[in-house]
Amino acid sequence: MTNKNSTVDTIRELLHAANDILITSHIRPDGDAIGSVLGLGLALMATGKDVQIVLEDGLPATFKHLSGADLVSKTIKEDYDLAVVVDSSDMDRTGSILGERQPDISIDHHITNTQFARHNLVEDKPAAAAIIADHLVDWDLPITPPAVEALLTGIITDTIGFSTSNMTGDVLRTAADLVDHGADIHMLYNKALNLRSYSETKLWGLGLNRMQRKGRVVWTSITKEDKKLSHFNGKGSADIINLLAEVKDADIAIVLLEETSHQVKVSWRAKQPYDISNLALSFGGGGHPAAAGAEVPGTLENVEQQILNATFDYIHKGTPPIN
């Protein structure tokens, strides 16, 4: 296995040797993906590097308040000599941005990471943004206010406001350092987690009305018609999974999002001691012990039955230890 310190050093050398850098992340980017691409990208730009930040699905409206949000593009506009992928466990999750090109660098925090880049820095942190924040000094990159607000947003969102079970004192200290460097934690927390549009809230209502529970599992589905009725134009399900995860009478929460008539996005959340990362992996997805997801082919009805059967089967077979 590659020594982590050696990988950190190699990444520093590659970042400083490159002139034109492409940074991308996974499809349907969440706060950690956005915070990571912007945080790293803005820090590199402050050193004079030419940086393209490209995401197949673009920037969600929730994060348009961040500095550098206007730099996020859906297409590659110029040639580049270094490709960096952040917060993505495998190549497929990045969509078609890189085509067949192998990324030069992957910076990620998912335990299901497939080591798909030439150089992979995978650390057990609650957010990829925390990894980047911790290594800015190691990479001789400036800690600027625009970069730190993006990185703190990544940490806030992926830890659901510092509340997930994988939070540690080290990550809290990283967040505190970002605040000390100028990040407005109150504003960032409020805009990332608290403020919701009318359409998002309407979508929640439709999903919650369809919520079901059996034993210690709670689930719901979001249909294409639901998104039309609520006028929600976002790519995901407005984070309704976080609401279901708060149901105290359940240990595992599932949201099934009908993307097309033959494709469903599945999100799981689990309380300790359950580890649903391998369950997601069995459906071609991945993630963390407490939060994972997968894209599953089939109709919403058929996929829902597959997912529920697999989840209950996993529970009945016993809980494997958390990695």
Q: CA–CA distance from 278 to each of 44, 92, 99, 273, 314 (Å)?
A: 35, 17, 27, 14, 10
- Is the pLDDT reported for residue 257 higher than 60? yes
- Is the pLDDT reported for residue 264 higher than 70? yes
- Is the pLDDT reported for residue 317 higher than 90? no
Please tell me the distance from the alpha carbon of residue 323 to that of residue 314, in angstroms, as a whole number. Answer: 16
pLDDT score for 320? 46
Least confident of 99-103, 118-122, 208-212, 319-323: 319-323
Task: Calculate mean pLDDT across residues 107-127.
Answer: 96
Question: 301 versus 236: which is more confidently predicted?
Answer: 301
pLDDT classification of 97: cutoffs 50, 70, 90 = very high
- Residues 162-198 have pLDDT tens digits of 998 889 999 999 999 999 999 999 999 999 999 999 9
Domains identified in the chain and CATH numbers = 4-194 (3.90.1640.10), 198-316 (3.10.310.30)
- Is the pLDDT reported for residue 103 higher than 60? yes
**Could you give the percent of the chain with pLDDT greater than 90?**
89
pLDDT score for 1? 42
- Is the pLDDT reported for residue 124 higher than 50? yes
**Could you give the percent of the chain with pLDDT greater than 70?**
97
- Residues 135-152 have pLDDT tens digits of 999 999 999 999 999 999
pLDDT score for 323? 36
pTM of the model: 0.86
pLDDT score for 4? 74
In the chain, at which residue ranges do the beta strands (DSSP E only) sit?
A: 20-24, 50-54, 72-73, 82-86, 105-108, 119-122, 212-214, 217-222, 252-260, 263-270, 286-287, 291-297
Task: Calculate mean pLDDT across residues 215-234.
Answer: 95
- Is the pLDDT reported for residue 99 higher than 90? yes
- Residues 41-65 have pLDDT tens digits of 999 999 999 999 999 999 999 999 9
CB crowding 244-282: b at 16 or more within 10 Å, else e:
bbebeebbbbbbbbbbeeeebbbbbbbeeebbbbbbbbe
The number of C-alpha atoms within 13 Å of 223 and in the hemisphere containing its C-beta is 10
pLDDT score for 321? 40
pLDDT score for 316? 87
CB 94 within 8 A of CB 86: no
Task: Calculate mean pLDDT across residues 208-212.
Answer: 97
